Amino acid sequence: MKVQGSVSFLLMLLAVFICGDANSQGLRQSDEQDNVPTGKGYGVAAPSGSPAPILDGHQIQFHGGPLMVGPTPIYYIWYGDWTKSPAATNGILRDLANHIGDTPLFATNNTYHDQEGQTIKGPVFFAGEVFDDYSKGKSLSDKDVESIVQNALTRSALPEDPKGIYFVLTSADVDETTGFCNTYCGWHSHMKTPTSHIKYAFVGDTERCPASCQSQPVGPNGKGGGDGMANILVKELLSTTSDPELSAWYDGKGRENGDVCDWTFGTTYLVNNAKANMKIGGRDFLLQQNWVNQSGAGCQSRP
């Protein structure tokens, strides 16, 4: 009797598992014509159950997922050895985090809205940082990057903040083995913890591969990877806020707002023998443009 009861319960449990899995896979069958932002800088064919677009924007579609409308705290996890890098890199990126939310470039994300019509307004601000001395070695997988963020939260080095974005910034001697320098210069993702939903990004020191990940050998703020990292970091910030869970704004090719404009900068000027296209918090930067979700807009540095 006890065994029969257990078997029945087990069957029920299996049914619950199966139903739960089906629900988690979303709303529709796959469509070979649609891509999702899961590849290495390009879209890949949508897996079964990917959400269909629910609203057509201007050559970019809304798929119903949440946005990070703000305020958006930024946390840095400096991974590896940053004592050998030009000290300026840390300062450049801290300044950037504190001021990027006030720029016309960030305001381009104001053209994206969520289900309730809220747009991405910020503010964005630097909220804290921690140093990680090679806890996962010098050769990282994507999962290692996720673990680096988890470890920082577990040991309370940084607060667990579902409204924040955690940037794992690796020094030039660290490799991200899934394609850093050959396929990508940075990426963003998200993970669930027992109590929260964390958004995080990877940005490696572009000094590791200047030809691949820097638009110029020396940036407006001098030597080192600070300028190159700034460009990638802002791109990841703009994409993360408009598509934090890879379920909000992207086009039919699986490209998010920033992907469409990779390595396009618009009008530039010269400063310190380097190209720049905007001034942020007293510094000059060369930051790629962002897709503006307005009729006839395209890639721009301002709405």
Partner 1 sequence: MILQSLTVFARSGTGASMVLVLALFMAQSSQATEEPRKVPTTTRLVKLYGELESNLSMAILEPDPSKIDDLLTQDFEQRTPLTADNPTPRAEWLAACSKDAKILGAVLPTKMAVRDLGSSVVASFVMVDRNHQKQPLFFVIDVWIDQQGHQQLKNRFLSRIGDRSPPSLCERPFKSNEASPQR
Footprint of partner 1 (CB under 8 A):
2-3, 5-7, 9-10, 13-14, 16-17, 32-33, 35, 37-42, 44-45, 141-143, 146, 178-179, 181-191, 202, 209, 211-215, 232, 235-236, 239, 243, 246, 256, 258-259, 262-263
Which residue has tokens 């998010």?
256
What's the min distance (Å) between Cβ of 281 and partner 1? 22
Q: How far is the CB of 3 from partner 1 (least distance, A)?
A: 6
Helix (H) or strand (E) holding 94: helix 88-99
The letter for the amino acid at 196 is S
CA angle 104, 185, 272 (to 5 degrees): 55
Beta strands in 103-235 (DSSP E): 124-132, 139-140, 165-170, 175-176, 184-192, 197-204
Q: Which residues pair with 278 in a beta bridge?
A: 285
**CA–CA separation, 127 vs 100, rounded Å?**
13
Shortest approach of partner 1 to residue 102 CB, angstroms?
23
Nearer to partner 1 (CB atom), residue 173 or residue 245: 245
Of residues 98 and 178, the one with the C-beta less far from partner 1? 178
Whole-number minimum distance, CB 44 to partner 1, in Å? 7
**In the complex, what is the shortest distance from the CB of residue 295 to partner 1, in angstroms, rounded to a whole number?**
25
Other beta carbons within 10 angstroms of residue 299's beta carbon come to 18
CB-CB contact of 85 with 207 (8 Å)? yes
- Shortest reach from residue 258's CB to partner 1, in Å: 7
Q: Which is nearer to partner 1, 6 or 154 (CB)?
A: 6
Closer residue to partner 1 in complex, CB, 81/262: 262
| Structure token pair of residue 10 | 């087990």
- Between 87 and 193, whose beta carbon lies closer to partner 1? 193
Tell me whether strands 35-36 and 44-45 are parallel, antiparallel or unpaired. antiparallel
Give me the least distance between CB of 15 and partner 1, in Å please. 12
Residue the block writes with tokens 């909220």:
127
Choice between 81 and 197, CB closer to partner 1: 197
Choose between 70 and 204: whose C-beta lies nearer to partner 1.
204
The Cα–Cα gap between 281 and 106 comes to 14
Q: 178: which 2 tokens?
A: 């899934």
Q: Would you give the distance in Å from CA 117 to the centre of its chain?
A: 22
